[in-house]
Structure 1
Amino acid sequence: MSFFWVLLAGGMIFALWRKVEALQRDLWEISGQLQVLRDQHRQAEPDRSQDDAVPMPAQRIAEPEPETTQPADLPASPAEPTIEPAPASEPEAEPVPEAELAYSHAEPSLSARIKPPRFSFDFEDIFGRRLPIWGGGIALAIAGIFLVRYSIEQGLVTPLVRVIMSFLFGFGLLAGAEAAFRFEDRVKDPRVRQALAGAGLATLFGAFYLAGTQYGLIGAGSAFIGLAAVTAGAIALSFRFGLPCAILGLVGGFAAPMLVESSNPNVPLLALYLALVTGGLAYAGRAQQRPWLGYAALAGGLLWGFLLLFAGTGWTSEILAVGGYLVVIGTVLPAFLHADKGPSIPRLLAGGMATIQMAGLIGTAGDSLLTWGLYLLLGAALAFFGWRDVRLRVGCSIAAGIALVLLVFWTDPGTGDFTLVATGIAAIFAAVPLAQVWRGHARLAELAQLALVPLALGAIAYLHYGSWKDNAETGLALGFVALAALPAIGAWLEWRGSDRGDSDTGLAGLIASAAMLAWWAMLAVTDGWSTPLGTAALALAVWELARRRGSMAITVLAWMGAGLTVLSLIATGGFFDELEQLGSDTSTVALTRALPRWLAAALPFLALAWSGKSAPARHVAEGFAAILLYGLAAQILPADALAWAAALAALALGWFAPERAGGWAAWLGIALIWAVEPLGEWYFTGLMSLIGEPVLAKDVVVPRDVLLQLAPFMLGSLALGWRIGITRPPLRVPAFIAGGLVAIVALHSLWKLVFHIDGMPRFELLGMGERSVWEALLLGGAFALFHVAKDRSLRLAGWGLLAASLLHFGWYTLFLHNPLWDWQRVGPAPIANWLLLAYGTACAALVLARRQMADAWTQIKPVIDILLMALISLFALSGLRHGFAGSLMADDSLGPTEDLLRSVLAIALAIGFLLWGARMQSRTWRIGSLVLMLLAVFKVFLIDTAGLEGLLRIASFMALGFSLIGIGWFYSRQLSGPKEPATDQ
């Protein structure tokens, strides 16, 4: 009982606060209206002065002002207003009220002093005038309670008398409220009757509670009926006495069932009572223009809906009562509250809460058809109101989603029951949006609902009754077809009703839903291996729609269909056996199945490539189509012919249709994939050779692989680079580089067969010769490209060959396997040996590079001259060593004579460099000569002469002296002669 009084006191305080806010708003409104009237009065004063047709003397009106505020330029105003005649020379002079001027200096006007109304708290007004009456009403109610309590404590009256006194006191208060209403002219305060009525209703609620629950004087049913009657009276009296009665009706009406003790509640009667209370309060709130009262009643009704679910519903009558109650609370009453197109958010919340409660009812009742029927009734009501108000269609969508979730968790549904419920869901949540499409009133949300509900129903049906085995399921297929009809009809209507310039997002969704359901129907009745055929047919149908419509959204859908075709190829029909055919002949496949499958997978991409308007999308489609057509050819052709087939297809397509870049690039990429394995082996061998491991004939690519795997990509890339480069010059260089690198690998592998170095003995005997001839061949290729080709890309290839020749010489011949310190035979002849070819090739490469350099590269030419001098010196040194040691120069030790001749050789080379520098006017060569001479001098003084005696020492110094004198004399002539510009050209 104390809980009831707490609720009552809270309601009264809330009502008082609402009343204060209403009075404050009225005060602000009256102040604003008064301000407007004052402004209008001020604006009308000049107009009235101008309306005087007869010239009148201007009136000077002034009011007495304090001296401190008197303007200096105005005379003191007399106590009475004075009138001075206007001059006769000024006809129709406009009267100027001078008092206004005076006031403008003295103090602001009345309108200026009035500020916009602000909230103010007047303690005396609130606690002296407003609240006492309301407090008096509450005090009377509490007095009645304490009167009853006192009688109980003192034992003065029996329980029956106490209850009778409570009833008499309650009715007496209501009579007092009526008297205050009838004698309003004497009371002159409506709050008196409101307080008396509220106290009387509260006393009657307590009386019925005491009579039924506390003392058991009447049965639970009678007590409940009495409380219901008081609630009805409170709602009715709210029209006469105002807000307190409405609050008591709200609090007492929903608290009444809790005040009555009953071990076996009558759920249908309780649901009826709650529906009537909620409806009555909603009606009262709307009629009295108190929308919050209707919202509060709706919230209370929905809260009681949860309580009814927790109480349990086992009988059919109880299920019907609770279901009907939720339908009324969730749809009828919100519609009644918002019949004037009011805000729909509370309406949506009510519908959503009722839908959730109905879902809980279905779960507690064991998914019976009765509860499903009630849920569909609620959904139909939501659809009905959504038909009239588009803002409420979201609630219908929420109900559809909850229904689908309930279907998913339905445990072991019978086929008939499931079909009946699914048909109802489709009829309410899919057919109604279809009707909206037919009317032309469908939005994107309705189109999405029409597309998703049938699709979800189909998926749920397969979840409950489908089988992953490869057998026919005719019943499911028919169901899928029936469900597909809904979005298909919607797509047809939307196609006719919308323009081509529209977004077509909703139309694409409907087409996708219908196509997916049709695909499922096809899967249910066909063998697994043929899935790509049906998928391709649907994808081509969607592609045709996209082509006719010219819609980006449907085009994206066609791409999805093409991708689904590839996925169906992968997931069905022995795909992995067919996949092995793409690179080998190890598996056996049924061509009657494999060929249609791969062709079907390629057809959607061919269609997209043919009709594509965007170049990137078109190239992607061409690439996928090329890959799938290669897979088709791989099912027929032997593995040895596949690389050539891909390369020739790329060459043919690039030659006759170079704009189809995606296709020929994909085929060329397949040819490159064939070349990856031998290229990888060759590059691994090459990496090992960088650390000194010799490359033997058995370590390179065998001729068969060169012919079948390297040659296709090499020829295709070079030919396409030349053909495509005509229309697309940026592609020429990458194509030539790729083809050229593969060509070098192929030629190098074949070249290794010429010397056939298969072990270390042959590597010692022929390694120097093999390297030298290979470097010469690379240089010859570079020379040919420089002097024959005029195309920039071919000249770049020439630079690549030139760099390869120099780098090969520098790392392998000069550093790793130099005959001076590695076991490499150079040949028995003194000059005509491999040293001449190796160093001659390197020097020729440097000279060729120097000549081919443009003027912008002149700063590099001195570096080339330095390298040339170094190579000539090393060649001379190696030749000297060959003269003493023979073919295997790393075998013998260095003798004194050879060491001395090295100094003489250095001096001779220095003289030669000096003469060449003088002839070519090259300062670099002259400086190189000096450096080499200084090195020779230091060697003679520090090393050579230290071990010589007698005539040899004398001869050494004489040779050194004459050489130095000669070089000095030559330099003096060069530096004292006519100044000619030194050049390094």
Structure 2
Amino acid sequence: MEFLLVVAALVFLALPIVVIVLMVSVSGLKRRMEMLERQVRDLAAAPRAAAPMAATAAPVAETVASPPATVAEAPQAEAVPEAPQPEVPQAEATPEVPQPEAQAPAAPQPAPRDPWGVPADPKRPHAASQARAARLAPSGPSAVDRLGAWLKINWVYAVSALSLALAGIFFVQYGIENGLLPPAARVTAAILFGLVLIGAGEWLRRRWGDEEGDATAYLPSTFSGAGLVSIFGGIIAARQLYDLIGQGTAFAGLLATALLAVVLGWFYGPFLAAVGLVGAAVAPFVVGGASEAPYWLYGYFALIAGVGLFVDTIRRWAWVSVLAVAIGIAGGGLVYVSTGGVGWFMLMLVAMVFLVVCVPARGLMPDHAGAMTIAALRGKGGEMPIFPTLLAAGTVAVASFLLLVLDSNTVAESLMAYICLAALALALTVWSGGARALSDLTVLPVAAFLLRLGFEGVSSGPLQQDFLSRAVAVRPPETSAPLTATLLLAIATLITLGAAWISGGAGRLKPFWAAGAALTAPVAALVMELWWGPSWVLGDYPWALHVIALAALMVGLAVVFARADGGDMRRAAYATLSALSLIALALFLVTTKGALTLALAALLVSAAALDRRFRLPEMGWFVQAGVLVLGYRLTIDPGLDWAVNDAALWEVIASYAGGALAAFAALSLIRDLDRPGAKAFLESGGASAAALLVNVLITRWLLNSGGGEDLLASHWAVALNAMPWLIVALAQLYRMQLGGWMRWVRIVIAGVAGLIWGGGTLVTLTLVNPLFADWFGDGHLVRGPLLLDTLLVAYALPGLMLIGVGRFFGHLPGLVRAPLVLLGTGLVAFYAALEIRRFWRGPDLSVPGVTQAELYSYTVALMLLGAALLYQAIARRSQGLRRIAMAVIALTIAKVFLIDVSGLTGLTRVFSFLALGLSLAGLAWLNRWAAGQGEAQGEDQGKG
């Protein structure tokens, strides 16, 4: 009893608010209609009132623009004539008088539109033949003002309707508690009570009316609405409380009551529709019942939604449809939460979408015209979607979301979700293909299908658990594999075929439908490969056959599209991209690591050849993605560790050289095409693959030449491990010339790769520097011939790469290039210094002390460097480079006077200062001559 009182209190509070809010808009609409009618009557009377003024020959524009003259105003207008009036000839003034009357009706008037935003047409509310709809501009008082005004006068009607409706329901409850009447009599009394209320309302309407200006306004709707709720409650009580009737009889009674509500709603207005819909929705929860699984209530709430939509498709109040759909979905959700039956709820959601699309169209084939829903999301003005389109969009979005997130406890329920999402996608693709305004809604169920497929794999849903429980390793012998993966892939393929079929007649939406056809099934296969593990259950080869069969289908679609579209090859390009991607996935499943890399390289060349042959710009996307995948395989998976330690030499050469050659071959194929993005990717990708090949070969050679565990702590091993990251960073910096939104992604990748390389380089300069003590065994020893040794690998090669940035990376700003070139110059200088030390001290650079010959060699090297820089400054006429050369010479001087003077002895010191003096004299003269040449050139330019 307490529970029923709580529910009754909640309904008592909620129903008036809902009904009042809904009625405010209706009452305001009626007032605006009356105002429009009065204005039309005033405009019709305006020419007659203005007729006496024609004789005065007043200006035409003033006569037309002035409001309709009253009887008292007319003589006043004649008593004050205009000054130039006598100058106007009568013959000229007379023809001008009727012009306002003749032109006024011809002024273009906007077509009247109803609350749906559709041109008024009682036969087809939004037929494709109608003009495209535009959203009504808001006018009149706001909703809050209308609500306040309505509350002051009409709040009692909502309370009255609620009281009468609860009277019938509590009459049944009273009979239960006191046992006054048998169950059949209680139900009959509730239904008769409802019929009496409906009869009273109809008598009042016929007798005194139900319009807003009538004295009995809203009373007929109040009585009839309460009567409908009482009848709904009586039928539900007969089914749930007493089991007096079966499900068929209950549905028949509810259907008859719903039809009665439709008929009454046409005559009584939105107040009755709101009362009937809300009352019918609340009735099952107020009456209660002991049924364990009242799944038929899902059909009941779908019926309520259909009733509201059917009423609104005639009266076109707009908000009634929203209320009906909200009640239907919310009621089904409450039934699901309280009793379960997720499969029935899923079917109900699909049925709701079909009702929302079909009922407003008044036919089985939708014909929604106008703009798509995405136009409303953009918010940039222009044509806006009509109300039926927005209603369908909201319903599809809610249904797709619920079908995505609803939990399923059994395999059948989980499979039902995929079937329902596919049914929605196919319906919006094929069945509603003629309704252009619904085209963009197809992406919602398709996205929900793919997301649910991924979520089930990640969270180990019931369908995926059942699939993995019959894997090859645990399945009994002579037992066939489950068809789960095959079924899901077939469902996705049906969506793909539907999109491909409708794309032929989609007009300017053809590329979007073709893209959907090319993506849906392949993405489903990729999601299953990533998170379902079909190879464990079916085996690598059978699952690869699934993927390659799908690739063959895409090839067939590409051929069909190419023949049908003539010069427009976009659909064929999308299908070809999909086929190439699926072939790559199939190769990934059945080939070895090296063979897969070569296969991807071959696909890269194939994509470039297709672009050259058929001029398909979309192939550039595949080329760029292919370069990224190849780079991933060459550096990470299987990566450098596989190439250095596990793979055979021929397989390493085939993989890395094949990737580099494929990139350069593809580049030569598209060199004459306007593909800047693909060209940049191929250039940097080919160079990276070649550099990685050299890196791997050097590492393998050094490993095979001996060194053991000390190799990991050597300066050159650390540098080799860090060098691929430098290559990646430089490749990303090179690709920055492409611009676009990917520029920031490349900056991030280059920054991360540069930090990793910088960390490795810092280790080579500090912890594993060959100058330091022997901390790691023989790892600090320099290996290889002079100049072409491990010092070259550790310091000179990365330094030369950074110096090359100044020449080949002109698109980078100077603030980026200058530090990189300076860092590279420092590494090369450090390499030169170490090579000098190795020349005098041997492979162990950590021996203490510095010999005089070594010290003097550093001086000679600095002097030669200064001279070379000064020569380059003169040759290039660069004042900046000349200053750098003089700085190096100054450094040499400082070294001689601060270090050599104490480190050198005997004739070595003499020759050192002698050579320094002569060299400085010659360089000073050369520098002065270069400066004079620069000044003379500046004067000549000034005179010119």
TM-score band by shorter chain is 0.5 to 0.7
Q: Secondary structure at the match of 1:412?
A: helix
- Cα offset for 1:432? 0.7
Query: Are the counterparts in 1 of residues 301 and 332 from structure 2 also a CA contact under 8 Å?
Result: no
Map residues 412-811 of structure 1 onto 2, 5 A cutoff.
412-414=465-467, 415-419=481-485, 421-441=487-507, 442-463=509-530, 466=533, 473-492=540-559, 510-550=575-615, 552-570=617-635, 575-576=640-641, 578-579=643-644, 590-610=648-668, 611-612=670-671, 618=679, 621-622=682-683, 624-629=685-690, 639=701, 704-706=785-787, 745=833, 748-749=836-837, 752=840, 767=852, 775=859, 791-792=875-876, 804=888, 807-811=891-895
Q: Secondary structure at the match of 2:689?
A: helix
Map residues 260-299 of structure 1 onto 2, 5 A cutoff.
260-264=287-291, 267=294, 269-299=296-326
Which amino acid is the alignment partner of residue 305 of structure 2?
Answer: T
Query: Are the counterparts in 2 of residues 451 and 510 from structure 1 also a CA contact under 8 Å?
Result: yes
Distance 1:809 1:34, change over 3 A: same
Distance 1:798 1:780, change over 3 A: farther
Which amino acid is the alignment partner of residue 239 of structure 1?
Answer: W
- Cα distance in 2 for partners of 1:635, 1:299 equals 65
1:237 to 264, 270, 283: 264
Query: Are the counterparts in 1 of residues 277 and 324 from structure 2 also a CA contact under 8 Å?
Result: yes
- Cα offset for 1:31? 4.7
Query: Are the counterparts in 2 of residues 430 and 453 from structure 1 also a CA contact under 8 Å?
Result: yes
- Cα distance in 1 for partners of 2:558, 2:332 equals 40
- Cα distance in 2 for partners of 1:384, 1:133 equals 50
- Cα distance in 2 for partners of 1:234, 1:708 equals 95
Distance 1:230 1:389, change over 3 A: closer
2:223 counterpart of 1:199: yes
- Cα distance in 1 for partners of 2:448, 2:148 equals 56
Query: Are the counterparts in 1 of residues 198 and 228 from structure 2 also a CA contact under 8 Å?
Result: no
- Counterpart for residue 655 of structure 1: none
- Counterpart for residue 337 of structure 1: 360
Q: Secondary structure at the match of 1:192?
A: coil
Give the percent of matched residue pairs that are identical in Structure 1 and Structure 2. 16
- Cα distance in 2 for partners of 1:614, 1:124 equals 64
Which amino acid is the alignment partner of residue 465 of structure 2?
Answer: D
- Cα distance in 2 for partners of 1:758, 1:172 equals 111
Cα deviation, 1:520-576, whole Å, max 9, x if unaligned, reads 212222233311121111111112223335555422421221332243345667853
Q: Secondary structure at the match of 1:363?
A: coil
Query: Are the counterparts in 1 of residues 495 and 521 from structure 2 also a CA contact under 8 Å?
Result: no
Query: Are the counterparts in 2 of residues 779 and 802 from structure 1 also a CA contact under 8 Å?
Result: no
Query: Are the counterparts in 2 of residues 306 and 357 from structure 1 also a CA contact under 8 Å?
Result: no
Distance 1:795 1:678, change over 3 A: farther
- Cα offset for 1:137? 6.8
Distance 1:549 1:687, change over 3 A: farther
- Cα distance in 1 for partners of 2:395, 2:862 equals 86
User: Which blocks of at least 5 consecutive residues in structure 1 are unaligned?
Assistant: 52-61, 97-115, 580-586, 644-660, 663-672, 689-698, 828-832, 859-985
1:28 to 19, 32, 35: 35
- Counterpart for residue 848 of structure 1: 922
- CA RMSD in angstroms comes to 6.4
Q: Which moved more, 1:596-605 or 1:406-415?
A: 406-415
Which amino acid is the alignment partner of residue 422 of structure 1?
Answer: L
- Cα offset for 1:242? 3.5
Which amino acid is the alignment partner of residue 593 of structure 1?
Answer: E
- Counterpart for residue 436 of structure 2: 390
2:899 counterpart of 1:816: yes
Distance 1:500 1:677, change over 3 A: farther
- Cα offset for 1:747? 8.3
- Cα offset for 1:21? 0.8
- Counterpart for residue 328 of structure 2: 301
Query: Are the counterparts in 2 of residues 779 and 841 from structure 1 also a CA contact under 8 Å?
Result: no
- Counterpart for residue 391 of structure 2: 346
Q: How many residues align?
A: 741
- Cα distance in 2 for partners of 1:393, 1:89 equals 63
- Cα distance in 1 for partners of 2:781, 2:410 equals 79
Query: Are the counterparts in 2 of residues 533 and 600 from structure 1 also a CA contact under 8 Å?
Result: yes
- Cα offset for 1:852? 2.6
- Counterpart for residue 908 of structure 1: none
- Cα distance in 2 for partners of 1:140, 1:406 equals 46
- Cα offset for 1:476? 0.5
- Structure number with greater Rg is 1
Which amino acid is the alignment partner of residue 434 of structure 2?
Answer: R
Cα deviation, 1:297-316, whole Å, max 9, x if unaligned, reads 222111222133234466xx
Cα deviation, 1:869-926, whole Å, max 9, x if unaligned, reads xxxxxxxxxxxxxxxxxxxxxxxxxxxxxxxxxxxxxxxxxxxxxxxxxxxxxxxxxx
Query: Are the counterparts in 1 of residues 280 and 304 from structure 2 also a CA contact under 8 Å?
Result: yes
- Cα distance in 2 for partners of 1:87, 1:41 equals 25
- Cα offset for 1:294? 2.5
Distance 1:559 1:616, change over 3 A: closer
- Cα distance in 1 for partners of 2:701, 2:146 equals 100
Query: Are the counterparts in 2 of residues 490 and 510 from structure 1 also a CA contact under 8 Å?
Result: yes
- Cα distance in 2 for partners of 1:548, 1:797 equals 50
Higher relative contact order (CA 8 A, sep 6+): 2
- Counterpart for residue 404 of structure 1: 450
Cα deviation, 1:920-957, whole Å, max 9, x if unaligned, reads xxxxxxxxxxxxxxxxxxxxxxxxxxxxxxxxxxxxxx
- Cα distance in 2 for partners of 1:214, 1:716 equals 87
- Cα offset for 1:32? 3.8
Map residues 131-210 of structure 1 onto 2, 5 A cutoff.
131=154, 141=164, 171-183=195-207, 192=216, 195-196=219-220, 198-203=222-227, 205-206=229-230
Query: Are the counterparts in 2 of residues 278 and 298 from structure 1 also a CA contact under 8 Å?
Result: yes
TM-score by length of 2: 0.61
- Cα distance in 2 for partners of 1:449, 1:596 equals 37
- Cα distance in 1 for partners of 2:886, 2:15 equals 102
Query: Are the counterparts in 1 of residues 598 and 658 from structure 2 also a CA contact under 8 Å?
Result: yes
Which amino acid is the alignment partner of residue 425 of structure 1?
Answer: I
Q: Which moved more, 1:196-205 or 1:281-290?
A: 196-205
